[in-house]
Amino acid sequence: MQKKHFYIIIGIFILLTFIFPSCKKDKFDTNSGISFSTDTLTFDTLFTSLGSTTRFFIVRNTQKQAIKISNIKLAGGATSSYRINVDGDAGINFNDVEIPAKDSIYVFAEVTVNPNASNLPFIIEDSIQFTTNGKLQQVQLNAYGQNAHFFNADSLESNTTWTNDLPYVILNYLQIKNTACLTIEKGCKVYFGGGAAMIVEGCLNIDGEDTTNAVLFRGVRLDKDVADRPYDDFPGQYAGLFFLRRSVGNINYLNMRNSAYGINVGNIKTTDDDAQNIRELQNMSINNAPIVSITNSKIYNSAFYGIFGFLGKIQGENLLVYNCGKNNVALIDGGDYKFINCTFYNRGSSYTSHTKEPVFYFNNYFKYSSTAPALQADSALAYFSNCIVYGTLDREIEYDELLGSIKKLNLLISHSIVQTNEALDFPKFDACKTDDPKFEDVFKFNYKLKSGSPAIDFSETPATLKDIDGFDIVGAKRDCGAYEFR
């Protein structure tokens, strides 16, 4: 059995050292003769005490002769928040740095923001000064920092409320014990370090209010990589949100992006004891399933799953789930699920492919060993109403039933627009369409409906009274999917 460990301590150490050989010359240019690839090195917003990515600039010798820079120094000296590396050497003061004719050197800079009491972004400034033949030049260093509440492999054992005063940063994991309920109020921003997870044994309430006061879950990296791509676009920035057996979740207006596993509902608490893990799996039932409600929320850019149910109970309304590397919704080993007015779409992205795994997958068993019998679900119900389940594959809905299983799959997709090459026959499909839903612009991730969309007024009761943006129903019927056409 492959173990899934949620308690992972990850240390990230970035060492960027470039050594460029330089040849000694007998003759040096007596002018400045150097230029810089930038006059200001800017670091995006950083959380206090977490450091930053390393940035660099290039110092070029524009002359046909070697140049000797008599001094390079970090203006702030030893008390600076910055650290620099010049041509492979770390320090704060460098003398007689030679650059061969028409050659260059690299200067790297890194910054750590010291904590303070401010809840607003603040700027940390310094400069790197170059003295060449008596001429002073400099490159400015600017970083923006922000204080935050930090949790590093911590547990909450009593009821706790997070207010929107400072961001919240989770490193490694935050565990909500079965004695505790965490309430996250509207507008809170929660940032996760690499591989970090929020693990719920007790209760989690996410109380977003509307699209402008949603709760945010995202990775901690606010900067860009060396190719100038925002880390915020990369899937798998952190593990995700995990509801263990018997836990409870009430999620409203959550904007969750760039995780690995999205929202997981039904996991067991694993240990290093394989026999104990197997007993926990065998003791799973619909009676000890976590119960999670997710409304008016967006989950996207997940490396694997958007929503993962493992013999769990989920009710989802007004959900938008897109750009997932595996399945937007995967329901394994049965469970009890209901989704109303949701949009699930996948076409892949610059970072995830969509060539094999469908948008939706459902089965009624779990095989944890090649030799042991598969676990059979004691409930396997999934109901989709007024939803859009669409993508670029011929078949975006797959299900698998264990031969001879006691509890058969009970799947019903009603009054929905689906992408499938399967016959839309009852009892699995009721009054469904396979037409293109005509989104505004899938390339810009705009899944609102265009005029003439077959999803307009295509719904049944029950239907949500407002759409994901909080707009009222237009006309006699609710439109299919998360968005009401306006």
Task: Give the residue among 344, 349, 351, 432 at the shortest CA–CA distance from 391.
Answer: 344
More confident residue, 9 or 79: 79
HSE (CB half, 13 Å, CA atoms) of 207? 12
How high is the pLDDT of residue 118? 72
> From CA 120, how far away is CA 202, in angstroms rounded?
32
How high is the pLDDT of residue 369? 87
Q: Which pLDDT band holds residue 17 (cuts at 50, 70, 90)?
A: very low
In this structure, of 45-59, 147-161, 172-186, 248-262, the range with the lowest mean pLDDT score is 45-59
Q: Please give the structure tokens belonging to residue 271.
A: 């240990």
- Does the pLDDT at position 21 exceed 80? no
Q: Which residue has the tokens 């779409």?
A: 345
Q: Which CATH number fits domain 148-449: 1.10.3470, 3.90.550, 2.160.20, 2.60.40?
A: 2.160.20
Reported pTM: 0.83
In this structure, of 40-54, 204-218, 354-368, the range with the lowest mean pLDDT score is 40-54
- Does the pLDDT at position 355 exceed 60? yes
- Does the pLDDT at position 1 exceed 50? no
How high is the pLDDT of residue 271? 84
Task: Give the residue among 97, 96, 14, 103 at the shortest CA–CA distance from 65.
Answer: 103
> From CA 187, how far away is CA 448, in angstroms rounded?
24
Task: Give the residue among 123, 165, 172, 125 at the shortest CA–CA distance from 148.
Answer: 165
- Does the pLDDT at position 136 exceed 60? yes
- Does the pLDDT at position 446 exceed 60? yes
Q: Which pLDDT band holds residue 31 (cuts at 50, 70, 90)?
A: low
> From CA 275, how far away is CA 158, in angstroms rounded?
31
Q: Is residue 132 exposed (0-12), middle (13-18) or buried (19+ Cβ within 10 Å)?
A: buried
Task: Give the residue among 423, 312, 404 at the shortest CA–CA distance from 362.
Answer: 312
Q: Please give the structure tokens belonging to residue 385.
A: 């109403």
Mean pLDDT value across the chain: 90
% of the chain with per-residue pLDDT over 90: 76
Domains of the chain, residue spans: 34-145, 148-449
How high is the pLDDT of residue 350? 86
> From CA 347, how far away is CA 93, in angstroms rounded?
52
CATH architecture assignment, domain 34-145:
Sandwich (2.60)
How high is the pLDDT of residue 221? 86
Per-residue pLDDT tens digits for 402-441: 988 888 999 999 999 999 999 999 999 999 999 999 999 9
Q: Which pLDDT band holds residue 30 (cuts at 50, 70, 90)?
A: low
Asked if 370 and 401 touch (Cβ cutoff 8 Å), the reply is no
In this structure, of 70-74, 121-125, 198-202, 224-228, the range with the lowest mean pLDDT score is 224-228
How high is the pLDDT of residue 226? 64
Q: Which pLDDT band holds residue 29 (cuts at 50, 70, 90)?
A: low
